[in-house]
Amino acid sequence: MTTIKSRSIAFLGTGLMGAPMARRLLHAGFAVTVWNRNHAKAQELAGDGAVVADTPAAAVEGASVVFTMLTDGTAVEDVLFKQGAAEALDTGAVVIDSSSIAPDAAREHSSKLAERGIAHLDAPVSGGVVGAAAGTLAIMAGGDAKLIEELADVFAPLGRVTHVGPSGCGQLAKLGNQQIVAITIGAVAEAMLLVEAGGGSREAFRRAIRGGFAESRILDVHGQRMVDRDFGTAGPSKLQLKDLNNIVATAESLALALPLTQAVRAEFAEFVGRGGGETDHSGLLLQLEEKNFRSSKG
């Protein structure tokens, strides 16, 4: 039987990523209380031993560590400061925000929590639902390095944590990750279009370049989805667009020109605008096909 560990954890947001992360913590022996806007999604974790709370404030009462895994910065702001979670937290508690939000928002949340004697880490993750379930997430943490070390037992069931700098730098690292993901998805999709338009097989093309300089996790997973035309909803394009919008806004604040990011953002914006928001971001192939078919018909 799993031993219950001393830390008490609250997990706010048990959607696609949050649920498997909370489940990993439960199976590692932590006492975990969960909350989700959709109560049914939180209730699914009761069978794994989670206590299900009706409100964010109720979930965090007595917790020493609180994870948030929510849609965006507005949702994090609402749950922490408008729905009473921050007020219900004990002094000395730690909030670990694993949501993907703007760096400025992360720094603002950290400052507001510090006024209440509550520590904060921005620790977004990469690895998708598969990585969350397997405990192999890449965790990019901004904040106090010593605190991250002290929480090694909490991060261990989830994946590999790396301290990347002060508050907000975890979110900056995640934005960089999402830049690479989006641009690489676009590159793979365009290459497949090129090969197929010239009479080749996209499936054979993918096999042929495996192991070469173009090898990547994107080519492996998303390339296979493009070959199979089975995109699903694992990484919704609307969330990829949200990240790209945050990247562009952050770049503008730093007086940076990011032309590749701007180009792929424009394609995702059009794809989401045409109804592809829930489609996995590998579905950008559909957007590029549509653009090319329209051009050929025009």
Residues identified as active-site: 174
**Largest Cα span, the chain:** 66
C-alpha to C-alpha distance for 109 and 45, rounded to whole angstroms: 28
For residue 126, what are the β-bridge partners? Answer: 138
Give CA 70 to chain center in angstroms.
9
Handedness of CA 286, 292, 294, 297 (dihedral sign): negative
Q: Where do the H-state alpha helices sit in the chain?
A: 18-27, 39-43, 56-60, 73-77, 85-88, 103-114, 128-134, 145-150, 152-155, 169-197, 202-209, 217, 223-228, 237-253, 259-271, 284-297
C-alpha to C-alpha distance for 119 and 180, rounded to whole angstroms: 30
